[in-house]
Amino acid sequence: MRITRETDYAIRCILYLSELPDKVAMAGEIAEAMKIPKSFLAKILQKLTRAKIVHSFRGVKGGVRLAKKPEDISLLDVINTIEGDVGMNICAVNEKACDQSKECSVHHIWIEIREAVENILKRYNFENLRK
Amino acid sequence: MRITRETDYAIRCILYLSELPDKVAMAGEIAEAMKIPKSFLAKILQKLTRAKIVHSFRGVKGGVRLAKKPEDISLLDVINTIEGDVGMNICAVNEKACDQSKECSVHHIWIEIREAVENILKRYNFENLRK
DNA sequence: CTAAATAGGATAAAAATAGTCTTAATTATG
DNA sequence: CATAATTAAGACTATTTTTATCCTATTTAG
């Protein structure tokens, strides 16, 4: 029922980049500032890059910066990128994973919770998360 | 972000017992009906017993039955028994686990989500879950 | 050309989840 | 009272997921 540490790192990383919207920051710099293992962060940045949340530059003076304005990145975007769909039960994400979805009286509750959580996570973007 | 299979089993087990409020059902019977590994269910029933959600009887003709009326058992009760507190991030459960709770701009969101999820789970009891 | 950076994949270590097994305690019934 | 059936408790094992690390490309500024 928890987000993983990887997701927590991803959020902290975007939080850091949101303070420096134009700077191209190296993974090592972000890792040190946000206390994230550097090689782990490198993998996280790859996912964020593929999701077009950050833009990366290779080579000397390379690094990453946000690919959009902080206000256009929601918490949900970041969580979805790292963890995939949020859902309390696998059946709320993929009906096929549960052979009993049809007769299951609990199923609709997982859906309801999923929607409630997504709605909250959508409301917060990295502009209004800045202190 | 998912409930565990153990929790899913526990819910299905209470769902089964809610249909037979007075019967003392054996673990083996519940396991077969709900497709739960029997020895795993035995451990789950111990937790539910300690939490006074079910009452158990040992010896020949022993088994378990609900310790309260289905309407007095919420989904949250069962989830809390198996998983402990619900919370997207450990810091929403135990502030001490996160050294940055005070300055963390995301912290209050985990709390908001936790409360929203708990409120939904409280609304559903095993009387209104029966089809 | 070289050094510094990300990309991608393989691998490893640690933790959590899922499940099993054995022994003990309890109890209805012959 | 002996026995068989049942839960209680804890140790143990297996599997999966999480959390990394490392190595080899590839890219690029200077």
* Residues B109, A65: Cα–Cα separation, whole Å: 25
Q: Which residues from the 69-88 window of protein chain A have CB within 7 angstroms of nucleic acid chain C?
A: none
Q: What are the chain B neighbours of A87 within 8 Å (beta carbons)?
A: 1-2
Work out if B23's Cβ lies within 7 angstroms of strand C: no
Across chain A, how many H-helices and E-strands are there?
5, 2
In Å, how far is B40's CA from the nearest CA of chain A? Answer: 19
In Å, how far is A63's CA from the nearest CA of chain B? Answer: 25
Contact A117 B120 (CB under 8 A): no
Contacts 24+ apart (CB under 8 A), A97-104: A103/B131
Work out if A124's Cβ lies within 7 angstroms of strand C: no
pLDDT at position B15 over 60: yes
- Provide the domain count of chain B: 1
pTM of the model: 0.93
Residues of the domain holding A20: 5-130
Count of alpha carbons within 13 angstroms of residue B7, beta-carbon side: 20
| DSSP conformational letter for B49 | H
pLDDT at position A56 over 80: yes
* Residues A130, A31: Cα–Cα separation, whole Å: 19
pLDDT at position B85 over 70: yes
Q: Which residues from the 71-130 window of protein chain A have CB within 7 angstroms of nucleic acid chain D?
A: none
Q: Read off the pLDDT of residues B18-57 as tens digits, 9 standing for 90 and up.
A: 999 899 999 999 999 999 999 999 999 999 999 999 999 9
| DSSP conformational letter for A28 | H
CA distances from B20 to A25, A127, B2, B124 (A): 62, 53, 29, 19
* Residues A21, A34: Cα–Cα separation, whole Å: 16
Work out if A23's Cβ lies within 7 angstroms of strand C: no
Q: What is the CATH number of the domain that holds B104?
A: 1.10.10.10
Provide mean pLDDT across the span A25-42: 97
Provide mean pLDDT across the span B82-111: 74
